[in-house]
A and B are shown apart, each in its own frame.
Chain A
Amino acid sequence: MTWDVVLATLAAAIKAGTPILYATLGEILAERTGILNLGLEGMMLIGALTGFLICSMSNDPWLGVLAAIISGGLLAMIHAFLTITLRAQQVVSGLALTMFGMGLSGFLGKVVIGVPIASYFRPFDFPFLSQIPFLGEVFFHQDALVYISYLLIPILSFWIYRTRPGLHMRAVGENPATADAMGISVAGIRYLYTFLGGCLAGLGGAYLSLAYTPVWLENMVAGRGWIAIALVIFASWDPFKALLGSYLFGLVDAVQFRAQALGLAVPSFFLNMTPYVATILVLVFATRETARRHLGAPAALGLPFAREEKT
């Protein structure tokens, strides 16, 4: 294998990791406030379809991404209403969201399956930085959505750990009763971050249909939403570790894809399994690590909060 192939594979890994990265970041936001949203797969699918439809109508990929972000956020609001206002079971609501998103995207997307689009996100050399040897090739010959994700990581990290709203967010996820006593609106914050989480999942979906593929296919998210949910645990709810995890998965994806292209003797079915199997292995490892180092989930994750009930 030549050096060029290695660099190209690493660059492809970033690309393949980016949709998972966005979804993982979104789920981190929601889970940090105590809301487990298993609807990632559904929100990503709706984001992928909406982005694709709006882009093919307007010929403007940015408009497509905007629509995808909004649609993902709106879908998340169903989950928010059910789990925050009605205090419904979060796992079941998330599963319902996934089914609904799969069904709706399949139903509405039937007419545009496999239709090519003229404008989508193409890679370009980032000024100056693309000149750096090695790093430039891998990280700075990408598309605009990848560059945005680079920016988003430090912003979110700063927001969560270093700002007042970030403190409130963590307080709501760790100890909603105390947060409530401090005068923080638990429901308001949970709504906000569940919405933002949906927005990021929608964006992740749009990355698939507007940059990665770029085409709409039924169920094109292919389990990436679930991989992202597992990565949240691997990342112990931290944006930088989410980056690491997502690129690791991007690498698994890129390597198996290249192995297929090179006609490796292993049947493609087994290569296609690798991302799912790797996720399970990583989850096992992460579960042991978090238990060993007491890195637990936000203490109130999955639990509804009600102030009125004092019985």
Chain B
Amino acid sequence: MSIFLEKRAQSSRLLSALVPLLAIILALLIGAIIIALSGANPWEAYREMFVGAFGSGYALSETMVKTIPLILCSLGVGIAFRATLWNIGAEGQLYMGAFAAGGIALAFPQGQGWWLIPLMVLASLVGGALWGLIPGLLKAKLNVNEIITSLLLNYVAILWFQYWIYGPWKDPLGYGFPYTAPFGEGAWLPTLAGTRIHLGLAFAVLAALFLYFLLKSTRVGYEIRIIGENPQAARYAGMNIPGTILLVFAISGGLAGLAGMGEVSGVIHRLQPAISPGFGYTAIIIAWLARFNPWLTIAVSFLFGGLLVGGYSLRAFGLSESLVLILQGLILFLLLGGDILTRYSLRWKRSRA
């Protein structure tokens, strides 16, 4: 007996709308089994997570805080996907953006000018873009596999970031703790009254708008889409493929860098060894779930922001927040499998014809 796939006469509309939802529900069910096996009550754990993420005004605002970097990173990863480029390096690009923005903030501790925040934004865009351009250049000029290079650069970026915090930028008044001095208030992104939701949210929405128009109504966006869908045709049409690859990596890295700026300038207000619980990796799933659509990206990011925030409440429950990573992996698996089943149906066959 063997299993094989049979192409559906037409892909099931209903299924393709339901697949992401079903994937999330099934992942939660499998996660429940894992929680139960580890000796905890899955229902209570999930309730804890849900309440922690969406159960109160404070919870919702915290979820929104985590949503901001997720949107920015996912948009970056998504535009690379559009051109069938794999940027697995958003995490490192985020750190490099935070490094660049943090460097500016620390250089002007008394800085109160209107120009300080725009300068930090610019620095983070450039920092992230430059870091993204390394795998981009290697891909465009030498055809080096960008998945591996962008991923390995994450480790390098985080070590680089930590070097500055443990070394030259360590706060002399910090009792030896690995922090930089706090940023001057002029380097803080304004927040919404009473919450930690910062101006980065506006950056994220603007970035979504920017990508939407870039893809929809510019020549460059058209080229990105064609290169992704049909590289052969793009080549025949004489499109500048290496140039587009560089541009995509610069945008992708820049957006992740901006996410890093939002974290240090909007939330943490200084640099510390870890500033991201893996936003750059979660972004890969979000981009895939949202099918690279900028608007869906915002909605899905909110959901995953909730998953992250809910994960923290697991700690109080005696469970590890690694559960969040398990759920993310499961969702991605199920989504992949589900995608296929919208186009094919599974058939069982007794023996080979």
Chain A interface residues toward B at CB < 8 A: 38, 42, 78, 81-82, 85-89, 91-93, 95-108, 110, 187, 218, 222-223, 226-227, 229-230, 233, 267, 269-270, 272-273, 276-277, 279-280, 283-284, 287-288, 291, 306, 308-309
Q: Is B325 an interface residue (CB 8 A)?
A: yes
- Cα A309 to Cα B8 in complex, Å, equals 12
| A97-B329, A283-B149, A308-B6 known; A103+B324 contact, CB < 8 A | yes
Q: Is the CB of B336 within 8 A of A226?
A: no
Map CB proximity to A onto B104-121 as digits: 1 under 8 Å, 0 otherwise: 000000000000000000
- Cα A104 to Cα B7 in complex, Å, equals 34
Q: Is the CB of A308 within 8 A of B332?
A: no
Q: Is the CB of B88 within 8 A of A95?
A: yes
Q: Is the CB of A88 within 8 A of B326?
A: no
Q: Smallest distance from the beta carbon of B154 to chain A beta carbons, Å?
A: 8
- Cα A276 to Cα B92 in complex, Å, equals 13
| A91-B147, A93-B336, A106-B320 known; A308+B4 contact, CB < 8 A | yes
What is the chain A residue whose CB lies nearest that of B88? A95
- Cα A233 to Cα B144 in complex, Å, equals 10
Q: Smallest distance from the beta carbon of B338 to chain A beta carbons, Å?
A: 9
Q: Is B210 an interface residue (CB 8 A)?
A: no
Residues from chain A with Cβ under 8 Å of B88 in the complex: 95
Q: Is B180 an interface residue (CB 8 A)?
A: no
Residues from chain B with Cβ under 8 Å of A99 in the complex: 281, 285, 325, 328-329, 332
Q: Within residues 137 to 155 of chain B, which ones have a CB less than 8 A from any CB in chain A?
A: 138, 142-145, 147-149, 151-153, 155
Q: Is B351 an interface residue (CB 8 A)?
A: no
Q: Smallest distance from the beta carbon of B291 to chain A beta carbons, Å?
A: 12
Q: Is the CB of B160 within 8 A of A100?
A: no
Residues from chain B with Cβ under 8 Å of A284 in the complex: 138, 142, 144
Residues from chain A with Cβ under 8 Å of B86 in the complex: 91
Q: Is B220 an interface residue (CB 8 A)?
A: no
Q: Is the CB of B152 within 8 A of A226?
A: yes
| A38-B147, A86-B336, A86-B340 known; A269+B163 contact, CB < 8 A | yes
Residues from chain A with Cβ under 8 Å of B7 in the complex: 308-309
Residues from chain A with Cβ under 8 Å of B339 in the complex: 88
What is the chain A residue whose CB lies nearest that of B7? A309
Q: Is the CB of B163 within 8 A of A306?
A: no
| A269-B166, A276-B153 known; A100+B322 contact, CB < 8 A | no
Residues from chain B with Cβ under 8 Å of A306 in the complex: 5
**A96 is contacted by which of B142, B160, B166, B336 (Cβ under 8 Å)?**
B336
Q: Is the CB of A103 within 8 A of B326?
A: yes
- Cα A277 to Cα B134 in complex, Å, equals 12
15 further contact pairs, Cβ within 8 A, besides A96-B332, A105-B322, A283-B144: A86-B5, A86-B337, A86-B341, A88-B337, A99-B332, A103-B324, A104-B326, A106-B322, A107-B322, A269-B166, A273-B155, A276-B155, A280-B153, A284-B138, A284-B144
Residues from chain A with Cβ under 8 Å of B130 in the complex: none
| A107-B38, A269-B162, A280-B153 known; A95+B143 contact, CB < 8 A | no
Residues from chain A with Cβ under 8 Å of B326 in the complex: 100, 103-104, 107
- Cα A32 to Cα B167 in complex, Å, equals 45
Q: DSSP majority for the A interface?
A: helix
| A88-B340, A93-B336 known; A277+B156 contact, CB < 8 A | yes
What is the chain B residue whose CB lies nearest that of A229? B148
Q: Is the CB of B152 within 8 A of A230?
A: yes
- Cα A198 to Cα B105 in complex, Å, equals 47
Q: Is B101 an interface residue (CB 8 A)?
A: no
23 sampled A-B residue pairs with Cβ under 8 A: A85-B3, A86-B336, A86-B337, A86-B340, A86-B341, A91-B86, A95-B332, A96-B329, A96-B333, A100-B325, A100-B333, A106-B322, A107-B319, A187-B2, A226-B152, A270-B159, A276-B156, A279-B148, A280-B148, A283-B144, A291-B143, A308-B6, A309-B7
Q: Is the CB of A92 within 8 A of B336?
A: yes
- Cα A145 to Cα B3 in complex, Å, equals 38
Q: Is the CB of A108 within 8 A of B159?
A: no
Q: Is B288 an interface residue (CB 8 A)?
A: yes
Q: Is the CB of A269 within 8 A of B328?
A: no
Residues from chain B with Cβ under 8 Å of A227 in the complex: 152
Q: Is the CB of A82 within 8 A of B333?
A: yes
Q: Is the CB of B147 within 8 A of A279?
A: no
- Cα A270 to Cα B158 in complex, Å, equals 11
Could you say which of B159, B163, B323 has the most chain A C-beta atoms within 10 Å of its C-beta?
B159
Could you say which of B86, B324, B340 has the most chain A C-beta atoms within 10 Å of its C-beta?
B340
Could you say which of B86, B144, B162 has the most chain A C-beta atoms within 10 Å of its C-beta?
B144
Residues from chain A with Cβ under 8 Å of B303 in the complex: none
Q: Smallest distance from the beta carbon of B310 to chain A beta carbons, Å?
A: 14
| A82-B337, A88-B339, A93-B333 known; A269+B144 contact, CB < 8 A | no
Q: Smallest distance from the beta carbon of A307 to chain B beta carbons, Å?
A: 8
Q: Is the CB of B325 within 8 A of A308?
A: no
Q: Is B34 an interface residue (CB 8 A)?
A: yes
Q: Is the CB of B160 within 8 A of A273?
A: yes
- Cα A226 to Cα B155 in complex, Å, equals 11
Q: Is the CB of A280 within 8 A of B152?
A: yes
Q: Smallest distance from the beta carbon of B85 to chain A beta carbons, Å?
A: 11
Q: Is the CB of A104 within 8 A of B34?
A: yes
- Cα A229 to Cα B88 in complex, Å, equals 14
Q: Smallest distance from the beta carbon of A46 to chain B beta carbons, Å?
A: 11
Q: Is the CB of B5 within 8 A of A87?
A: yes
Q: Is B239 an interface residue (CB 8 A)?
A: no
Q: Is the CB of A273 within 8 A of B156?
A: yes
What is the chain A residue whose CB lies nearest that of B37? A108
Q: Smallest distance from the beta carbon of A241 to chain B beta carbons, Å?
A: 17
Residues from chain B with Cβ under 8 Å of A100 in the complex: 325-326, 329-330, 333
- Cα A56 to Cα B49 in complex, Å, equals 32
Residues from chain B with Cβ under 8 Å of A187 in the complex: 2
